[in-house]
Chains A and B, each alone.
Chain A
Amino acid sequence: MNFINKAQIEAETNNIRIEENKKNKVNFIMIFLLILPIAIFIISIMFGRYAISFEQFMQIASAKITGNSIDISSNVETVLFKVRLPRIFAAMLIGAALSMAGATYQGMFKNPMVSPDILGASAGAGCGAAVGILMSFSSVGIQIISFIFGLLAVALSYFISKVISRGSNAVLVLVLTGMVVSTMFHSLISLSKYVADPYSKLPEITFWLMGGLSTISGQDVRMLLVPFLLGSVPLILIRWKINALSFGEEEAMALGIDTSKIRLLIVVCSTLMTAVCVSVSGMIGWVGLIIPHLARMLVGPNFKVLLPASCLIGCSYLLLVDDVARSLFSVEIPLGILTSLIGAPFFIYLLLKGKKGWA
């Protein structure tokens, strides 16, 4: 009897130890993930065709804060505030937005192969931009019509799926209608390329679709910020409840979740973020697919930590890749090409490494 008790107590303390180790590990990773984007941010400021030293940056920053005048050439200031900082912020926001949208969709659709464009947000936004370019809109006009088309495409997927499913198999039907709507808008993009003037409009559309941040201005960052906040804040607030959704529609309902309401909220939030990213930067693939996987490998599938982790890794990753895009060669490589080029092999590496349960 005594022996059993002793063994039991040992097992129990062992359990507690494992639990604490796990918690410590996750806490440690989260602290690391908080420092990571800050470190990459500082490196990114110094990097580039026009090198800015760390001292120069600190001088400008402290001058801005205290309001003192400084004796640094206005060139440095222009490069920093008009070019480099907007680009850095845009890369971070887009990386964070796509990763959070991707992680949430993967949970909601119970499928680790899902990316944020599954319901047609990217295809719609791309089509909107193509139309805007064809009609010779200003760059702000192109962004706005692209954003609106992105929202429209997802709204179309959502409402068609509502009509078809009438309550049963809602998630599966949503994926299917999303595929249909995406295909439709991709065809419209092809059509607009086909009718475009091959010497002026066609290259413009093609370059736009490749995705990149080379023309980002402070205005674009402001355009990104509002939809980003509108999308990310609600997701962060309800993140724990998303867990139940990945056990399936009925189990989530039995756990007291109003699944159709939370699904609509998730779709609206993710779409706001995805559509605005595409409308500002073009199509930047793979970020929303691989970052959630990487985050899940590091901190596990619980959305309480998974969503913040995806956000932090996503903004670090895209910032880093954009640094490479703008400084690796003398000609800039479009960011969208680079994310796919890096993303695809990296994803295979993740699949090889995380064999268990799509971790």
Chain B
Amino acid sequence: MGMILEINNAVCGYGMKTVVEDISLTVSNGEILCLLGPNGVGKTTFFKTILGFLKLQKGEILLDGENIINWSKNELAKVIGYVPQAHTPPFPFSVMDTVVMGRTPHIGRFSSPSKKDMDIAEEAIDRLKISYLKNEIYTEISGGERQLVLIARALTQQPQILIMDEPTSNLDFGNQIRVLQQINELSKSGLGVIMTSHFPNHAFLCSTKVALMQKNNAFQVGNVNEVVTEENLKSAYGINVKIVDTKIDNGEIVRSCIPLFN
């Protein structure tokens, strides 16, 4: 089943104010698009627009060629899953309760989750290898675990496209990489992923595509090696960067970027 998210000449912003202009990109199943860019450049605004929280000011968003402008929240939620930054809700929901909320778009207006919905939630939990958390309280587990639970919740929606807002923020070094590995595996199983990150290295680790948003609406999208270059990072973030290739034990070449003091 192929699903393509296509964004053509999108202009996004709040009310009358325009934040980002003229963005075009496509993401299809199995692809990971990593969205890089400095703070305040409009990454979040762009995400909110794709998710339908904000009205598209100009341009179009197509899912498999169909304009989503008139889709209901419910229809959209069946195709696009959202993984927000992990935060703490005020009430001590259990992990299972939280994950099964992903069934919301599939459940009738007046119903509660059935046994089948519970099974789907459990599958998602197993897939992320966090079944040991099932009976824990969501507000009491660690930040990294919460992020995985939110990913499980999005999977429970059974979407085609996952949108992840800085899935690695607030995580320690190990958890960042573990979450990225999970994202990688999800895309291999056929999901299309769009995620934001503050680390160009994350783009090298798992993206098939990178989009770089810069001030003044400069926007580039393409292959990692084309977009994440020393010049581009310098112009986007205003710091000097060295990009190096390292040969690891199995002979594979891994690319990474090293920030330098000016």
Taken residue by residue from 249 to 285, chain A's Cβ proximity to chain B (1 for < 8 Å, 0 otherwise) reads as 0110111111100000000000000000000000000
Nearest-CB residue, chain A, relative to B159: A254
Complex contact A253–B92 (CB within 8 A)? no
Q: Is B137 an interface residue (CB 8 A)?
A: yes
CB distance from B246 to the nearest CB of A (A): 33
CB distance from B10 to the nearest CB of A (A): 18
Nearest-CB residue, chain A, relative to B94: A300
Nearest-CB residue, chain A, relative to B103: A255
- Kindly identify which residue among B48, B90, B93, B134 contacts A19, using a CB–CB cutoff of 8 Å: B134
A166 to B55, CA, bound (A): 12
Known: A15-B134, A251-B82, A304-B112. A110 touches B101 (CB 8 A): no
CB-CB < 8 A to A254: which residues of B? 51, 53, 77, 80-82, 84
A247 to B150, CA, bound (A): 11
A239 to B105, CA, bound (A): 15
Instruction: Please give the number of chain B residues whose Cβ is less than 8 angstroms from any Cβ of chain A in the complex.
Output: 46
Nearest-CB residue, chain A, relative to B55: A167
Q: Which of A210-257 contact B (CB under 8 A)?
A: 237-241, 243-244, 246-248, 250-251, 253-257
A240 to B113, CA, bound (A): 8
Complex contact B112–A357 (CB within 8 A)? no
Complex contact B77–A256 (CB within 8 A)? yes
CB-CB < 8 A to B112: which residues of A? 239-240, 304
Complex contact B90–A240 (CB within 8 A)? no
Q: Is A48 an interface residue (CB 8 A)?
A: no
Q: Which of A110-133 contact B (CB under 8 A)?
A: 110-112
Q: Is the interface of A mostly helix, strand, loop or mixed?
A: helix
Complex contact A258–B72 (CB within 8 A)? yes
A22 to B134, CA, bound (A): 12
Complex contact A357–B92 (CB within 8 A)? yes
A301 to B15, CA, bound (A): 35
Q: Is B73 an interface residue (CB 8 A)?
A: yes
Complex contact A255–B90 (CB within 8 A)? no
Known: A237-B110, A240-B111. A301 touches B52 (CB 8 A): no
CB distance from A306 to the nearest CB of B (A): 9
Complex contact B77–A357 (CB within 8 A)? no
A356 to B131, CA, bound (A): 22
A95 to B115, CA, bound (A): 33
CB-CB < 8 A to B173: which residues of A? none
Complex contact A255–B76 (CB within 8 A)? no
Complex contact A253–B73 (CB within 8 A)? yes
Instruction: Please give the number of chain A residues whose Cβ is less than 8 angstroms from any Cβ of chain B in the complex.
Output: 40
Q: Is B140 an interface residue (CB 8 A)?
A: yes
Taken residue by residue from 119 to 152, chain B's Cβ proximity to chain A (1 for < 8 Å, 0 otherwise) reads as 0000000000001101101011000000000000
Complex contact A356–B104 (CB within 8 A)? no
CB-CB < 8 A to A239: which residues of B? 112
A205 to B113, CA, bound (A): 48
CB-CB < 8 A to A248: which residues of B? 84, 87, 89
CB-CB < 8 A to A244: which residues of B? 101, 104
- Kindly identify which residue among A166, A257, A300 contacts B15, using a CB–CB cutoff of 8 Å: A166
Nearest-CB residue, chain A, relative to B98: A247
Q: Is B28 an interface residue (CB 8 A)?
A: no
A145 to B92, CA, bound (A): 40
Complex contact A357–B90 (CB within 8 A)? yes
Taken residue by residue from 339 to 359, chain A's Cβ proximity to chain B (1 for < 8 Å, 0 otherwise) reads as 000000000000000001111
Nearest-CB residue, chain B, relative to A305: B112
Known: A237-B110, A243-B101. A256 touches B92 (CB 8 A): no
Which of B15, B74, B93 has most chain A Cβ within 10 Å? B93
CB-CB < 8 A to B261: which residues of A? none
Complex contact A107–B74 (CB within 8 A)? no
CB-CB < 8 A to B74: which residues of A? 256-258
Known: A111-B90, A254-B77, A258-B74. A243 touches B111 (CB 8 A): no
23 residue pairs A–B, Cβ–Cβ below 8 Å:
A12-B131, A15-B134, A111-B90, A240-B107, A240-B113, A246-B91, A247-B101, A250-B48, A250-B51, A250-B53, A250-B84, A253-B51, A255-B77, A255-B157, A256-B75, A256-B78, A256-B104, A256-B157, A258-B72, A259-B73, A301-B91, A302-B97, A359-B91
Q: A248-B87, A258-B74, A356-B139 are in contact. List 10 more A-B contacts (CB 8 A).
A: A15-B134, A15-B135, A244-B101, A244-B104, A250-B82, A253-B73, A256-B157, A357-B88, A357-B90, A357-B92
The 7 closest A-B pairs by CB, nearest first: A256-B77, A256-B105, A254-B82, A357-B92, A301-B91, A256-B74, A240-B112
